[in-house]
């Protein structure tokens, strides 16, 4: 039985490596654990990220990982995806959707307005079918359900770190996304 699990695990890893390698060749930039339940999407890059630093390797990433830990997520249960190239150009809706499908998160968090706009464009049809107007627009702080994912627009996480009140607003928003638990 254990041998079968090991073979299956290797197949999953191989498939993920192939998909992520293909995405990287086409300009998609990711960081973190590709098998995690939480995907942070970022579209407004810091100077370090523009210069080649890994996504969410700065203060915003540290704060997001600390928030996840405080909510009960495992330390490795996050992945980051840039919705833009290092030059700040959007990667395109089709490629963006493909990247999200490959990562298959249970929860997608748009960290800023540029990321939220990429989500809106990529999932316009699904968002238009939501009955709650604020959820359909990805109003910051609202939790939407899109193709089985919880989706939230934080509304400028990195910028909020310099303001004590805005940090509290971000924390209140993140608390709406507790771990979902085991799927079995």
DSSP for 3-65, please give it: HHHHHHHHHHHHHHHHHHHHHHHTT--EEE-TT-SEEEEE-S--HHHHTTPPTT-SHHHHHHH
| Alpha helical stretches, state H, 72-144 | 93-103, 113-122, 124-128, 133-136
Radius of gyration of the chain (CA): 16
Please report the pLDDT score of residue 184 as a whole number. Answer: 38
Residue 29: predicted pLDDT? 95
The whole-number pLDDT of residue 51 equals: 92
Output the pTM of the full model: 0.92
Structure tokens that stand for 139 in this block: 């109003």
- What's the CA gap between 42 and 84, in Å, rounded? 8
Res 172: pLDDT: 97
Helix axis angle, 2-25 relative to 93-103, nearest 10°? 160
Torsion angle of the four alpha carbons 70, 184, 40, 140, in this order, in degrees rounded to the nearest 10? -80
> In the chain, which residues have pLDDT < 50?
183-184
CA angle, residues 95, 144, 177, in degrees to nearest 5: 100
Distance, in Å, from the CA atom of 55 to the CA atom of 53, rounded to the nearest integer, reads 6
- Measure the CA–CA gap between 13 and 33, rounded to whole angstroms: 12
């Amino acid at each position: 039985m254990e041998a079968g699990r090991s073979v299956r695990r290797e197949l999953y890893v191989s498939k993920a490596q192939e998909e992520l390698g293909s995405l990287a060749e086409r300009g998609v930039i990711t960081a973190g654990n590709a098998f995690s339940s939480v995907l942070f999407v970022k579209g407004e890059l810091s100077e370090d990220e523009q210069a080649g630093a890994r996504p969410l390797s700065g203060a915003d990433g540290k704060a997001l990982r600390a928030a996840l830990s405080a909510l009960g997520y495992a330390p490795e249960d996050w992945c980051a995806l840039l919705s833009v190239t290092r030059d700040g150009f959007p990667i395109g809706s089709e490629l963006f959707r493909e990247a999200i499908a490959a990562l298959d998160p249970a929860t997608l968090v748009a960290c800023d307005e540029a990321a939220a706009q990429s989500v809106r464009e990529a999932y316009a049809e699904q968002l238009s079918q939501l009955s709650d107007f604020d959820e359909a627009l990805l109003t910051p702080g609202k939790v939407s359900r899109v193709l089985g994912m919880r989706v939230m627009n934080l509304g400028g996480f990195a910028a909020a770190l310099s303001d004590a009140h805005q940090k509290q607003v971000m924390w209140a928003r993140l608390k709406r996304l507790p771990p979902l638990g085991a799927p079995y």
